[in-house]
Amino acid sequence: MAKVKQKTAWFCTSCGAESPKWTGRCPSCGDWNTMVEEKISAPAAVAMPAGRHKAVPRTVNDIVAVDEPRIHMPSEELNRVLGGGLVKGSIVLLGGEPGIGKSTLVLQNLLAIRNRRILYVSGEESASQLKLRADRIGRGSDNLFIVCETSLENIFSHIEATEPEIVVVDSIQTIATDTLDSSAGSVSQVRECAAALLKFAKESSVPVLLIGHINKEGSIAGPKVLEHIVDAVLQFEGDRQYMYRLLRAIKNRFGSTSELGIYEMCRRGLREVSNPSEMLMTHRTEDLSGVATGVTLEGIRPFLIEAQALVSTAAYGTPQRSVTGFDAKRMNMLLAVLEKRVGFKLGAKDVFLNIAGGLKVSDPALDLAVIAAILSSNVDMAIPSGWCMAGEVGLSGEIRPVVRIEQRISEAEKLGMTDIIIPQGNLKGFDTSRLSIRIHEVAKVADAFRELFG
């Protein structure tokens, strides 16, 4: 028998690029030391039900737009991040670090769905482990089928047998197809399996939810490839010290990517946090210096968040700058603005900044609260607890307008704030007469300082 030469190729574990030979640096994404050798077989595609039809080009006017039919998920936070429910025939990747709660989130939602057959393929946990988790969440189900399987071909036969309306694969890195020799979790396997499941989703209109692990660098393990195969990429993240978990869409063909879902991991599963401000505010009874409340926006939802700063004389020669939850470069820029435009000498001081709740905020409107927290700590004067603020800070110390100021003001008022500092000219005709919150418009950082500390 003639021995078939085993073919191999080199794959980049970071972006999935393929190369016939080893290179120290990935020719595609430029990362170093990411190429791994994997066995490949002749490009025998995964066997899929036949039925290839040819598409006919049509003019835009001839195409009738239909709203994507969606399956409503029990968790409203999940629905919102998905863009209004799970679109039929779509393939969604839920990524996150191991142990963050991906399986819990999915299982909890599936258990609450009634009257739909669902297939949950687990390649990671045994059926009894899943049962224990379901018990912990406190729910049972007659329509959720669980199978522990790692072969793609077998998964398709399970699908044929159960005829589910939703398919979940936990996790994509544990399944493998027989058509490839490489092991589960390798770039080629993940790519091939995801492509086959995508084809299944498109042809059957059954939505497929893939769970995927993220590696240290924060990309979905190896397979960044997956990100462009799937319709939506949701990321589940959180800080291990905090029980809060954030769900955000990194990509979504059927909705916005600016939505944020917030959960809290409790003893009996995940709890939705529908009022995020509750988690982002410390419930302080005394006024502390170095704490300022900003009104920020994630997606379309405004919420209040606390910036905490500590400014102290540097103990060592080089002052320390330490930031969590905020861009370090941006904080350095704000410190430079304070130094140059407001005349605070912070060059020889240690500055520590922390955004409460373990949330990473990218909204520039938080600048003003960050500056206020730093100033407050520096002069050791507390900002009254009913005060909050929103505004972007420019290089010349000017406070620049922010988007959706009306919603921010309404949210602040709803949460019982008495005063809000906003950029001058930002209101533009917004009727504030029915609001009881006092609005302070400022044009420069120095004005804000005067409003806050007299």
Three-state SS for 259? Answer: coil
H-assigned helices in 85-171:
102-111, 127-137, 152-162
Tally of CB atoms within 10 A around 197:
26
Mask for 106-145, x = binds ligand TYD (CB under 6 A)? ---------------------------x--xx--------
Bridge partner list, 422: 441
Question: Rounded to a whole number, what is the distance in angstroms from the first to the last CA of the chain?
Answer: 91
Minimum distance of ligand TYD from residue 123's CB (angstroms):
12
Please tell me whether residue 376 binds Mg ion under the rule CB under 5 A.
no
| Residue 130 or 195 with smaller CB distance to Mg ion | 130
Given Mg ion, ligand TYD, none, residue 357, with its beta carbon under 5 to 8 Å by kind, binds: none
Spatial separation of the C-alpha atoms in residues 218 and 151, rounded to whole Å: 27
**How deeply is 310 buried, as exposed, middle or buried, from its count of CB atoms within 10 A (0-12, 13-18, 19+)?**
middle
Token pair belonging to 266:
């409790």
| Residue 69 or 99 with smaller CB distance to ligand TYD | 99
Token pair belonging to 309:
């700063």
Three-state SS for 104? Answer: helix
For residue 428, which amino acid is it? K
Spatial separation of the C-alpha atoms in residues 365 and 54, rounded to whole Å: 50
Minimum distance of Mg ion from residue 170's CB (angstroms):
6
Sole window of 96-104, 351-359, 412-420, 443-451 interacting with Mg ion (rule: CB under 5 A): 96-104
| Residue 137 or 379 with smaller CB distance to ligand TYD | 137
Candidates 16, 85, 89, 96: give the one binding ligand TYD (CB under 6 A): 96
Minimum distance of ligand TYD from residue 269's CB (angstroms):
4
- Is residue 320 left, alpha or beta, with left meaning phi > 0 and alpha meaning psi from -120 to 50? beta
Given ligand TYD, Mg ion, none, residue 277, with its beta carbon under 5 to 8 Å by kind, binds: none
Given Mg ion, ligand TYD, none, residue 96, with its beta carbon under 5 to 8 Å by kind, binds: ligand TYD
| Residue 103 or 289 with smaller CB distance to Mg ion | 103
For residue 398, which amino acid is it? E
Bridge partner list, 148: 122
| Residue 125 or 447 with smaller CB distance to Mg ion | 125
Minimum distance of ligand TYD from residue 407's CB (angstroms):
33
Spatial separation of the C-alpha atoms in residues 405 and 249, rounded to whole Å: 24
| Residue 47 or 132 with smaller CB distance to ligand TYD | 132
Please tell me whether residue 267 binds ligand TYD under the rule CB under 6 A.
yes
Sole window of 23-31, 263-271, 276-284, 323-331 interacting with ligand TYD (rule: CB under 6 A): 263-271
| Residue 103 or 186 with smaller CB distance to Mg ion | 103
For ligand TYD, the binding residues (CB under 6 A) are 96, 98-104, 133, 136-137, 265, 267-269
